[in-house]
Amino acid sequence: MFKGKLCLAPMVRAGELPTRLLALKNNCDLVWSPELVDKKLLQTNRLINEKLNSIDYILPNGNIVFRTIPKLEAGKLILQIGSADPDLAVQAASKVINDVDGIDLNAGCPKHFSIHSGMGAALLSTPELLCSILENLVKKVGVPNKKPISAKIRLLPEQKDTIDLIEKLCNTGITNLTVHCRTREMRNRESPIRDYLIDIYKMCKKHDVSLIINGDLQTRSNFLEVRDQCGLPEEVGGMIADAAEVNPTVFNCNGPNEKWWAIMDEYIKLATQWENNFGNTKYMLSRIIPGKSPVFQIILRCHDYEQIKYVQTKLINPESGTLLRDPKDFIESLQNKGKKDNKNKKKKRSANGINMTSRDTKTTTKKVKI
């Protein structure tokens, strides 16, 4: 399933449904969901959305944690779980396994939101726990459901330690290993370490585990060049992260579409069609649209899909991405709406504040004897 495939990396915010679909439309082979923490996933209810023909995992407060379109993602969707507990990992994976094509364990993210509970890259410091989680996932979820279990890691500071860890991981029964070619301490601006990828490949090959490399890959052609330069065979796959966040067409065999306004147009259509969270859509558009473009600032001021649709169809030249006319009047209307919305919010806060003050007064006032 994983051999030789070029994949969309698991990314917070950038790995939601519209980005995944846009990547698949542009020759991406496999897509990863954002990391979903086991405890949050277990709080959700699975619902069949008959309007969209989607499968939704929704929290009690109504927030959608995960949405997939089976007819468009079937056979190509890997869900990544964040966990530091074998039992919770199994429970969470079991809950979603029928709606995805594999489960991946996050053991590489160095961000605080992932490692603060011993998840993500923190698992690299607890290899016994890491292996235990994977063994349980393989035995209790992967094998019974005939679905692959995989892991994504970073390099350890020393080559020998990395190879030793990888051998332990391969012995857990996983099907695939994705290696981000940086250490936990390294940032994305630093060049990846690819010196001993061939040794990592040989260890994976020894245990019949496929390998995907990740870290500073830009396009499909760039991935093929890196793979050749490292002396790796065609069965080694690749995973693109940051470059795909900015331009989900980087997977194309003929190269990415360099017209950001065309990519923006496709993204808006998908986000609108599949009712993507507006805040997430706005964030992704801020990544797709160049910061120097006047369109960037206009989009940031939009409050809903209707306004974004207006910018898309009335203000932007579809041939060049330039503005068709002066947007001053539209910007003023956005500002007026923003002021009105803020005023309403202040009224609500004020009302809540008065109620809170009266309650606080009752509970904190002490009787003083005179």
85: tokens are 């507990």
Neighbour tally for 1: CB within 10 Å: 17
Active site residues: 109
Q: Are 305 and 272 in contact (CB under 8 A)?
A: yes
Consecutive H or E run containing 219: none
How is 91-107 classified by DSSP, letter by letter? Answer: HHHHHHGGGSS-EEEEE
**Alpha carbon 53 to its chain's center:** 22
Q: Is a pLDDT exceeding 80 seen at residue 151?
A: yes
pLDDT confidence of 111, banded at 50, 70, 90? Answer: confident
Beta bridge partners of 64: 58
Of the candidates 93, 111, 75, which has an alpha carbon nearest to the alpha carbon of residue 37?
A: 93
- Within 13 A of 287's CA, how many CA atoms are on the CB side? 20
Q: Is a pLDDT exceeding 90 seen at residue 367?
A: no
Distances (CA, A) of 184 to 51, 155, 179, 321: 43, 7, 12, 39
pLDDT of residue 361: 37
- Give the integer Cα–Cα distance in Å for 286 and 267: 12
pLDDT of residue 120: 96
- Give the integer Cα–Cα distance in Å for 80 and 14: 14
- Give the integer Cα–Cα distance in Å for 4 and 76: 14
Q: Is a pLDDT exceeding 90 seen at residue 366?
A: no
pLDDT of residue 365: 37
SS3 363: helix
- The string of pLDDT tens digits covering residues 24-62 is 999 999 999 999 999 999 999 999 999 999 999 999 999
Q: What's the whole-number average pLDDT of the chain?
A: 93
Neighbour tally for 65: CB within 10 Å: 17
- The string of pLDDT tens digits covering residues 281-308 is 999 999 999 999 999 999 999 999 999 9
- Give the integer Cα–Cα distance in Å for 191 and 56: 38
Tell me the mean pLDDT in the region 233-238: 99
Give residues with Cβ within 8 angstroms of 189, minimum separation 6. Answer: none
